[in-house]
């Protein structure tokens, strides 16, 4: 009996069935009467360095995807250059279909898989971005170095409409499904719902309830003003093209523009990484690597205080405790806690970037590491190093009633809002159990700027 033509669809950062060009390409390749084998490979090179929140969230996304494919999703572990060709041979796949991976490791891995497949076609369709990295350039063909002109060109370039969701897919069930990755013990960390259905529900809820207040609400961590879609974009349970298409009926108001700006930031950082793959871990402005950083036992104690939310600066501590409690930090607060580590505690941005990647559920290499470089002043920031976030004034401005701080720092819940960002000024002093500030911000700001000036003049 003749084999049924089978396409292999290798899922990576596209754990959904809607708006999925590679799925449509796999269906077309299999042809009428053909089948699609859905595959996910647990790659030790990615699984090993991932923190527990990302591992567990991935496991939950895969469980939802397996349900969506009627149990057909095949899960294997190992080097994709070995696993994918082996599975392709088992089902005599007519081709292997993927969404293009534009990250440094993903590009190397896919090239290795393509070589190992030999005569079996390796077909890329779509990417995790509305506009693939490398496609938006200046008129002379060189990449953008600054966000604002990139965002203008990105909008002018435009993006395709969402890919249709297939009505029915004949999933191949010729192979054992295999086990999902093991459940991860997160302790008390609470993760958001995972999977495509959860992503679409979260998007609909945001559009209906919070989008039109987004321009102001996105900066107030004490309110539910953001979309909380970052983990869904990270794992591709929703595509940014879907979001952008849904926004076409919302007008061109400030809220819509601000939200699309956030999508553009994600695409900008992916574009930077495409052109400068070394920037994931190296300075975009290498001359600033000469800035001095603190070390030794005392510096390590200060870093531990930052990691555990015990710095004595309430907005910083609230952010770091949110990171441990939800594997997430509000974007405004990410900038505040990053600035504190780099410019108040004089630690290299790479230390903070690694810590965040270990604890964030939405940890994305391009966005996370370039975001840290932006704060540190070593990356794409159009402003120089002298931006130093004052944790007290930032707290007062963006959490004026102390709602965010009081949620995450219970030691301060009984304080009047007037004192919540400066508890040492309260009539009774700092409440019991909460630390005094571990540094003098004004002094450390001067130290940071003096070090920068020495490097700049060198």
pLDDT mean across residues, the chain: 95
**What's the CATH number where 50 sits?**
3.40.50.620
pLDDT recorded at residue 382 = 63
Domain end, chosen from 230, 254, 275, is at 275
Number of structural domains the chain divides into = 3
**397-425: average pLDDT:** 97
One domain, residues 208 and 249: yes
Residue 92 confidence (pLDDT) above 90: yes
The strand order across the sheet containing 95-98 reads: 74-77, 35-42, 6-11, 95-98, 121-124
Read off the pTM.
0.95
One domain, residues 92 and 220: no
Residue 350 confidence (pLDDT) above 50: yes
Residue 17 confidence (pLDDT) above 70: yes
One domain, residues 106 and 118: yes
Does residue 74 lie within any of the structural domains? yes
**335-354: average pLDDT:** 97
One domain, residues 219 and 352: no
One domain, residues 302 and 444: yes
**301-317: average pLDDT:** 98
One domain, residues 294 and 415: yes
Does residue 280 lie within any of the structural domains? no
pLDDT greater at residue 286 or residue 361: 361
When pLDDT is cut at 50, 70 and 90, the band that residue 317 belongs to is very high
pLDDT recorded at residue 250 = 65
Q: Which domain holds residue 213?
A: 129-161+197-275
**What's the CATH number where 140 sits?**
1.25.40.80
One domain, residues 66 and 98: yes
Residue 272 confidence (pLDDT) above 90: yes
Residue 1 confidence (pLDDT) above 50: no
pLDDT recorded at residue 4 = 84
One domain, residues 339 and 373: yes
pLDDT recorded at residue 326 = 97
One domain, residues 31 and 81: yes
When pLDDT is cut at 50, 70 and 90, the band that residue 373 belongs to is very high
The percentage of the chain sitting over the pLDDT mark of 90, rounded to a whole number, equals 90
Does residue 184 lie within any of the structural domains? no
One domain, residues 366 and 438: yes
Does residue 20 lie within any of the structural domains? yes
Residue 305 confidence (pLDDT) above 90: yes
Residue 2 confidence (pLDDT) above 60: no
**421-442: average pLDDT:** 96
Does residue 15 lie within any of the structural domains? yes
Does residue 395 lie within any of the structural domains? yes
One domain, residues 258 and 305: no
Task: In whole angstroms, give the CA distance from residue 218 to residue 213.
Answer: 8
Does residue 203 lie within any of the structural domains? yes
**415-429: average pLDDT:** 96
Does residue 173 lie within any of the structural domains? no
One domain, residues 254 and 398: no
pLDDT recorded at residue 251 = 65
**What's the CATH number where 383 sits?**
1.10.579.10
pLDDT recorded at residue 248 = 83
């Amino acid at each position: 009996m003749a084999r049924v033509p089978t396409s292999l669809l290798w899922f990576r950062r596209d754990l959904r069935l809607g708006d999925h060009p590679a799925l449509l390409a796999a269906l077309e390749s299999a042809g009428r009467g053909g089948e699609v084998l859905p595959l996910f490979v647990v790659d030790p090179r990615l699984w090993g360095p991932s923190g527990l929140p990302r591992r567990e969230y991935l496991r939950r996304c895969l469980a939802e995807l397996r349900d969506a494919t009627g149990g057909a999703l095949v899960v294997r572990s190992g080097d994709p250059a070995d696993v994918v060709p082996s599975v392709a041979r088992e089902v005599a796949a007519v081709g292997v279909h993927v969404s293009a991976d534009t990250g440094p490791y993903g590009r190397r891995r896919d090239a290795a898989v393509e070589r190992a497949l030999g005569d079996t076609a390796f077909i890329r369709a779509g990417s995790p971005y509305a506009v693939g990295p490398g496609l938006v350039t200046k008129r002379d063909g060189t990449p953008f170095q600054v966000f604002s002109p990139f965002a203008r060109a990105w909008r002018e370039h435009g993006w395709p409409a969402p890919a249709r969701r297939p009505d029915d897919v004949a999933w191949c069930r010729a192979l054992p499904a295999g086990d999902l990755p093991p459940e991860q013990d997160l302790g008390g960390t609470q993760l958001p719902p995972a999977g495509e259905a959860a992503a679409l529900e979260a998007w609909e809820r945001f559009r209906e309830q919070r989008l039109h207040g987004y321009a102001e609400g996105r900066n107030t961590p004490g309110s539910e003003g953001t979309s909380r879609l970052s983990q869904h974009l990270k794992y591709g349970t929703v595509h940014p093209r879907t979001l952008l298409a849904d926004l076409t009926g919302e007008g061109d108001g400030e809220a819509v523009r601000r939200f699309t700006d956030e999508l553009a930031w994600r695409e900008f950082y992916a574009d930077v990484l495409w052109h400068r793959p070394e920037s994931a871990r190296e300075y975009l402005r290498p001359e600033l690597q000469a800035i001095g950083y603190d070390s030794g036992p005392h510096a390590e104690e200060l870093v531990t205080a930052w990691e555990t939310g015990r710095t004595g600066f309430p907005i910083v501590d609230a952010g770091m405790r949110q990171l441990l409690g939800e594997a997430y930090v509000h974007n405004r607060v990410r900038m505040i806690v990053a600035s504190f580590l780099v410019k108040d505690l004089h630690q290299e941005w790479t230390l903070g970037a690694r810590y965040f990647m270990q604890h964030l559920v939405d940890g994305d290499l391009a966005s996370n590491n370039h975001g840290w470089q932006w704060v540190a002043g070593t990356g794409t920031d159009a402003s120089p190093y002298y931006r130093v976030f004052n944790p007290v004034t930032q707290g007062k401005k963006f959490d004026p009633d102390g709602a965010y701080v009081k949620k995450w720092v219970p030691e301060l819940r009984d304080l009047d809002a007037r004192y919540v960002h400066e508890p040492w000024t309260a009539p009774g002093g700092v409440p019991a159990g909460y630390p005094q500030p571990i540094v003098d911000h004004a002094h450390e700001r001067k130290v940071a700027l003096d070090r920068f000036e020495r490097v700049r003049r060198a």
